[in-house]
Amino acid sequence: MSVKLTMKEPYVKSRFLSTKFRGYFDLLRPFTLLAPFFVSMFIMFASLVYNNKFDEFPNWWVIIGQASLTLAFLNGASNSLNQATDVESDKISKPYRPIPRGVVERDEAQSIAYILYLFGLLRAVTINVWFGIFVFLIMLFTVMYSLPPRMKRFLFVNQVWIAIPRGLFAILASWSVFGDPFDIVPLTIGSVALVFFIGAMTTKDIVDCEADRKTGTRTLINTFGIKKAAFISLPFLIIPFAIIPIFIHYHIIDSYLLPLTIFIIPSFFVFYLMLKQQLSETLENVQGWSLMYVTYLFYAISFTALIILGKLGQLDFIQPI
């Protein structure tokens, strides 16, 4: 008996799971849930260490698990709603998705999205007020991205619009679990992620270029072509990490965060892979899109590791430039 491992493979009957259930699973796009889950988990732990809240929250690991799952469910809701509203586009560029294949109905996908949004919001407000507010803002931005006024349609606006919840709000929400989300550290780290995503989100539109054009969505790719779009995106990929030494020089963030500049390298490779337009054999999009998520994940891991080592005094040898 064959097993469906990726979304691109055909749906097959399983001894334990129905085709319909697998279709619901694919609506959530599990690969894209890994980044928000693990990124938020690491940022929350960094906040816990930075603010020294271990005594105040003895069950911190439970709180981190619950809050991280909340943000992952929120991302799953966004994915499900996006597929429910992008059926015509997906029939052209991604016919393997569960709705174009007829495995899941459009109204079912929307219902799943609304249930996950409601669950995420109700769960978030039980953690703390600021976490609930940021989860609501993430929900608002992602809903307006797919539903009227459907910000996804508008050139430039679409990339900034989705980068705000994915980059800035997600990090501020995570930090707010144990700390002040308006502290200069999460604001700076979140702003770096925001600008990175403005550039990196170009990768998601490569596969959908023709489908977006035919369905009235303007993107950098179908407006300027892949080469110009990549070069427009390049400054947004490189500059946020390149100016980290400036933040350190003016004492905006601690000097032990200087190694984060290393992410200029994978960011440049995101740009390079944009130009190559090489599709992933197993995942839904081009390899540059996959690298975007991997870069974001390791950015959060590295930030957390530097916070821990910095607070332990192990990185005192790193001095401002």
Report d(CA 123, CA 16) in Å as an integer: 30
Q: What pLDDT does residue 196 have? A: 98
Instruction: For residue 316, tell me if it sits in a domain.
Output: no
Report d(CA 175, CA 194) in Å as an integer: 15
Report d(CA 174, CA 130) in Å as an integer: 10
The parent domain of residue 75 ranges over 19-311
Instruction: For residue 6, tell me if it sits in a domain.
Output: no
Token representation of residue 79: 């994915």
Q: What string of DSSP letters covers 72-101?
A: HHHHHHHHHHHHHH-HHHHHHH-TTSTTTT
| Residues ≥6 apart with Cβ < 8 Å to 80 | 27, 28, 109, 110, 112, 113, 116
Q: What string of DSSP letters covers 226-239?
A: HHHHHHHHHHHHHH
Q: What pLDDT does residue 317 have? A: 78
Instruction: For residue 321, tell me if it sits in a domain.
Output: no
Tell me which DSSP letter residue 151 carries. G
Domain count, the chain: 1
Q: What pLDDT does residue 1 have? A: 43
pLDDT for 92 beyond 80: yes
More confident: 240 or 284:
240
Instruction: For residue 288, tell me if it sits in a domain.
Output: yes
pLDDT for 201 beyond 60: yes
Instruction: For residue 180, tell me if it sits in a domain.
Output: yes
User: Which ranges of 86-154 does DSSP label H, i.e. alpha helix?
Assistant: 87-93, 106-125, 129-146
Q: Are 220 and 159 in contact (CB under 8 A)?
A: yes
E strands in the chain: none
More confident: 319 or 272:
272
Q: Are 276 and 291 in contact (CB under 8 A)?
A: no
- CA torsion 30-274-190-158 (nearest 10°) is -80
Q: Write out pLDDT tens, residues 180-189.
A: 999 999 999 9
Report d(CA 179, CA 136) in Å as an integer: 18
pTM: 0.93
Reported confidence tier of residue 195, pLDDT bands at 50, 70, 90: very high
Instruction: For residue 24, tell me if it sits in a domain.
Output: yes
26-65 in b/e burial notation, b at 16+ Cβ within 10 A? bbbbebbbebbbbbbbbbbbbbbbbbeeeeeeeebeebbe
Token representation of residue 228: 């110009």
CATH of the domain at 245: 1.10.600
Q: Write out pLDDT tens, residues 100-141.
A: 999 999 999 999 999 999 999 999 999 999 999 999 999 999
Q: Write out pLDDT tens, residues 73-85.
A: 999 999 999 999 9
Q: What percent of the chain has pLDDT over 90?
A: 83
Report d(CA 90, CA 85) in Å as an integer: 10
Instruction: For residue 226, tell me if it sits in a domain.
Output: yes
pLDDT for 2 beyond 60: no
Q: Write out pLDDT tens, residues 143-180.
A: 999 999 999 999 999 999 999 999 999 999 999 999 99
Residue 47, beta-bridge partner list: none
Instruction: For residue 58, tell me if it sits in a domain.
Output: yes
Report d(CA 193, CA 172) in Å as an integer: 11
